[in-house]
Every structure is written in C-alpha cells, then in structure tokens.
Amino acid sequence: MITNNIVLVGFMGTGKSTVGRLLAERLGWNFLDSDAEIEKNEQTSIAEIFRLHGEAHFRQLESQALADILAGSGQVLATGGGAVLAETNRTCMLGSGCVVALQATPEKIIARVSSDQSRPLLQGNLEERVHALMETRKSAYDFATMAIDTTELTVEQIVEEIIARTG
Ligand code: S3P
C-alpha cells in the first residue's frame, strides 16, 4: 500500500503518541502530534484551552491543525482521541493517507491514563468517565483503514504490525 501519511486515531490512552514516535523513527518519517501542535501554536496547554475557551473552540483549533499538518506528506500523525468526531476531519485523514485505529480495553486505558490527570474530559471519577465516553464513541473509529488491538501488545509489536500492514 502506498501511503502519504500514517494517521493514528483511537481513544485516549491507546498509545497513539508513543507508537507514532517509534513508527516514524523506523520509517524515517516526521512525527507530529496534533495536541502538541495546538499547544505550540496557542502557547498554552490543552487543559487551559478547554478551561478558558471551552471544548468547541478546542475542536476548531484541532480541525485547523489537522488540515495544516495533513497537507504535507511522509509524516506519522498522532491525533487527539476526539479528532475523529468531525466528519471533515475524518475525510481529511482518509484523503491524506492510511488511518490506523489503535484499540484497547477500558481496563488497559484506565491503567494507562491514570498517570496523567490533566485530560479535561477525564476529570472526576476516572473509571466512570472512561466507560461513559467509550460508550458514546463506540463506533467513532470504525472509519479507519485498519484497526489494531494494542491491549496485549508491546509498542514494538504494534509498530511491526503497522509496518507489515501498510508496507
Ligand atoms: C481528547 C483527547 C486528548 C486531547 C483532548 C481531547 C478527546 O488527546 O485531544 O484532551 O476528546 O478524546 P489524547 O487522545 O492524546 O489523550
């Protein structure tokens, strides 16, 4: 499969950034993280953007960042977990390359995100928030070109799998 970009999508804590960084290194491609790009552009954290301007404003910044980044090629992009919610973003991702959905069980996700308490959408009872949000996003990642269940895999194995299936 010839692909211009590899776009990683998936719920928070599915390993998009960690996997993306290693994948880019293996391919000799650039690695970008849409949340990090937004923070760089806005000179503040995602949590602050949510707190000061709300989620809708964050989603606008996110759509703009995705469109800007995906105009380029030879990149691995880790997206935020909610980037798939807007149809324009999904179309932009599919048009720019291969979209890989990373999946994991709620238990695995809770274990992975518990070390970072800054995510605005996971404030309050972590277990409840993860289960509720996963329920509302049940089919949100189905549009992807391919899906990989990361629950029992190491980062190394996930990268190998992506290279085998996109190469
Ligand atoms: C979000 C996921 C976060 C970040 C923001 C919103 C979401 O990114 O974009 O907090 O809606 O799922 P990660 O998936 O990298 O945690």
pLDDT given for residue 167 in this prediction: 79
Closest residue to atom 16 of ligand 1, CA basis: 12
Q: Ligand 1: which atom is nearest the Cα of residue 116?
A: 16
Does some domain include residue 167? no
Q: Ligand 1: which atom is nearest the Cα of residue 55?
A: 6
Does some domain include residue 147? yes
Does some domain include residue 76? yes
Residue 33: give its domain's CATH number. Answer: 3.40.50.300
Does some domain include residue 166? no
Q: Does residue 74 carry a pLDDT above 60?
A: yes
* Residue 58 belongs to domain spanning: 5-161
Q: Does residue 56 carry a pLDDT above 80?
A: yes
Does some domain include residue 84? yes
Q: What is the pLDDT of residues 40-53, one digit of tens each?
A: 999 999 999 999 99
Judging by beta carbons within 10 Å of its beta carbon (0-12, 13-18, 19+), is residue 155 exposed, middle or buried?
Answer: middle
Contact 30, 75 (CB under 8 A): yes
Q: For 44, which DSSP code?
A: S
Does some domain include residue 63? yes
Q: Ligand 1: which atom is nearest the Cα of residue 14?
A: 14
Q: Does residue 126 carry a pLDDT above 80?
A: yes
Q: Does residue 2 carry a pLDDT above 90?
A: no
Ligand 1 site, residue 81, Cβ cutoff 6 A: yes
Q: Can you tell me the mean pLDDT for 59-63?
A: 98
18 is in an annotated binding site: yes
What does pLDDT average to over the chain? 96
Closest residue to atom 4 of ligand 1, CA basis: 80
pLDDT given for residue 152 in this prediction: 95
Ligand 1 site, residue 12, Cβ cutoff 6 A: yes
Ligand 1 centre from 136 Cα, in Å?
Answer: 14
What is the interface pTM, i.e. ipTM, of the complex? 0.98
pLDDT given for residue 3 in this prediction: 66
* Single pTM value for the model: 0.97
Contact 21, 31 (CB under 8 A): yes
Report how far residue 63's alpha carbon sits from residue 88's, in angstroms, rounded to the nearest whole number. Answer: 8
Q: Domain tally for the chain?
A: 1
Report how far residue 3's alpha carbon sits from residue 74's, in angstroms, rounded to the nearest whole number. Answer: 8
Task: Please give the sequence-ordered ranges of beta strands (E in DSSP) within 10-162, or none if there are none.
Answer: 30-33, 75-78, 98-103, 146-149
Does some domain include residue 72? yes
